[in-house]
Amino acid sequence: MAFHTKNRTDRLHYAPLLNFAILITSVVTFGLAVSYAHAAINTPMWPQALIYMRPRPSNGKIIVYSAFMPFFTILQSIANLLLHFLYSLHPIYSLAIFSVYFIGWLVQWSIWMHCEISGIGFENAGKGETCWQVNIDHRKDDMIPLRSSQGVVNGRVGLGAVVIALYGVYAVLAVMAVFRNGRGGGSMRMK
């Protein structure tokens, strides 16, 4: 069972459009993630946080927290676009890759929602909360970089939800291709 074929009639017709949409959304999300990481790195710590809670994570950990999934999604989308135009992707390959990325984005999005949008991290300050954002100076001051970047936070989380939806659509269509091609007794190539 090969993952690629040179037969261009076996192509998945919707794949380039979905891959391109995922790529564009991920590039914008990556830009917002870098902006968020920059603001988080430059935001002062809450004075009591240094005594009662964990210290701020390293700059590298903040960047990984913010931009891990968008960065690897950009690489994966470019690779899939190249593979699509050079070869035909097998539906099992598409299903496996997009399911993994769907789950990865769902986990990343859930962490972003929990720590940045829901406010749970700020309500549980000092109670062993896992979000490092409880350690920042969370006064209502627009001069604090992380507070003034709330639009960046909302945009990143919103675009993360769009990427999750696109991966979900791609995975569903790949499952449909597997069943469609498997039922007819023919090859397992996406048509």
pLDDT for 25 equals 95
Alpha-carbon distance of 110 to 115, in angstroms, equals 9
Residue 187 has pLDDT above 60, yes or no: no
- Measured between alpha carbons, how far apart are the two ends of the chain, in Å? 16
Comparing 63-67, 100-104, 174-178, which segment has the lowest mean pLDDT? 174-178
Residue 66 has pLDDT above 60, yes or no: yes
Tens-place pLDDT, residues 81-90: 888 778 766 7
- Residue, of 118 and 166, whose pLDDT is higher: 166
Q: Could you give phi then psi for residue 145, rounded to 5 degrees?
A: -55, -40
> What SS3 class is residue 45?
strand
Q: Mean pLDDT, to the nearest integer, of 141-159?
A: 72
In order, the DSSP letters of 75-137 are HHHHHHHHHHHHSPPPHHHHHHHHHHHHHHHHHHHHHHIIIIIS-HHHHTTTTT-S-GGGGB-
pLDDT for 26 equals 95
Strand partners, 45: 136
Residue 112: band (very low, low, confident or very high) from pLDDT cuts 50, 70, 90: confident
pLDDT for 128 equals 45
Average model confidence (pLDDT) across the chain: 75
- Residue, of 112 and 103, whose pLDDT is higher: 103
Contact between residue 166 and residue 77 where contact means Cβ atoms under 8 Å apart: no
| Nearest C-alpha neighbor of 63 from the set 25, 35, 101, 44 | 35
Token pair 């269509």 is found at 173
pLDDT for 11 equals 42
Half-sphere exposure for 114 (CA within 13 Å, toward CB) = 11
Residue 102 has pLDDT above 70, yes or no: yes
pLDDT for 52 equals 53
Tens-place pLDDT, residues 22-57: 999 999 999 999 988 888 887 776 665 555 556 677
| Nearest C-alpha neighbor of 150 from the set 139, 162, 142 | 142
Contact between residue 106 and residue 175 where contact means Cβ atoms under 8 Å apart: no
Q: Mean pLDDT, to the nearest integer, of 103-109?
A: 93
Sign of CA dihedral 12, 13, 14, 16: positive
Structure tokens at 124: 């549980």
Residue 127 has pLDDT above 70, yes or no: no
